[in-house]
Homo-oligomer: A and B are copies of this chain.
C-alpha cells in the first residue's frame, strides 16, 4: 500500500519527452501534437497514472473544495443543508468538506483553521448565534465566506437568511384568523438568532392584533424535542389553558405532541399546535403538523452558488443579505 506512485516524471521518461509536455498533454493544453498527446495518454493509462491533486492544488493555490461548518451534524435540518450544498457544489466541480464545530467553544477555532489552512477555497458557515468574535473572525476573510444565519447584522461576508420575523407574524395572523385568541409560545434558546426573531415576530403581531399575552404561556425551550415536551408539561400546570401552542421549531412541536398525548389532550380538538421549519417528520405526525416551511434546499443552493461565484471572482459586488422564502404549510394540527 502507498507504494511509490506514478508521476509525470516517470511518464516523461517513458515517453521520451519533458515533464512539461506531459503536464500539457494531461491537462488538455493545446500546444501538443496529436501524436505526442496520444502517446503520453496511452502510457499514462497503461501505468494507471492518477494526478496528485494535492500537488496540483498546492501549486495552483486552489483545491476545489469548499468547507461547510455546522454546529451539529446530526440535526435533520442541517443534513438537508449538507445535501443541498453538496449537490450544488458537485455540479460546479467542487467537493464539500463538512466540519462540525464540535461545540461552540471551537467554532471560532474551526473557522480559523479552515480559513487559513488553504484546504478549502471558501467557507459556508451555519450560525445559530453570533457574537463579535465570530463576526470578526468571519470578516477577516482570507477566503470568501457565506453565512447561513438568522442574524443579518452586516459583516464582511454574504448572508443567506430566512425571514423568521415575518413568518412568525404570519403564523400568529393565521391563528388569529382561525379564531384562536389564546396563544401559548415555546421559545428557542435565548441566544439563538432565529429564535430571537421568531419570538419578536410573535410578540409584535400579538400586539398589533391586540391579543393579550398571558406571561405564563410564554415558555422557555431549547429547540429540542425534550425541551418542547417539558415546556408543554409546565404549560399544562396552569389553571387557564391556551387554545393553541406555537412552538418556535418543529422538534419542540413534536415534544408538544408527546406531552399533550400523555396528558390526555387531543390535537387539534382540545388544543392546537403549530411549528416552524417543516422537518421531514412533521408531515407524518398524527395529526400532520401545520408549520412554516423553510426551504433548506434553496438555502443551501443560494449559499453555495454565491460562494462559488465569489471564489471564481464572478461576483465582486458588495456583500449581500439574501432572504430565502418560507411558506405556511397548513395541515391538521391547527
Contact = CB atoms under 8 A, between A and B. Distances in A.
Interface in A259-294: 261, 280-281, 284-286
Contacts of A117: 50, 52-54
Contacts of A97: 65, 95-98
A21 interface: no
Interface string A27-58: 00000000000000000000000111111011
A24 interface: no
A128 to B, nearest CB: 16
A1 B143 contact: yes
Given A143-B2, A257-B284, A86 B58 contact: no
Interface in A145-185: none
Given A98-B96, A117-B50, A258-B284, A79 B74 contact: yes
Contact size range, A:
35 or more
A225 B55 CA distance: 45
B98 A86 contact: yes
B82 A90 contact: no
Interface of A: 1-3, 5, 50-55, 57-58, 61, 63, 65, 72-74, 76, 78-80, 82-83, 86-87, 90, 95-100, 102, 112, 115-119, 141-144, 225, 254, 257-258, 261, 280-281, 284-286
Nearest 10 A/B pairs, CB to CB: A50-B116, A79-B79, A53-B117, A74-B83, A54-B118, A286-B286, A73-B83, A98-B98, A97-B97, A281-B281
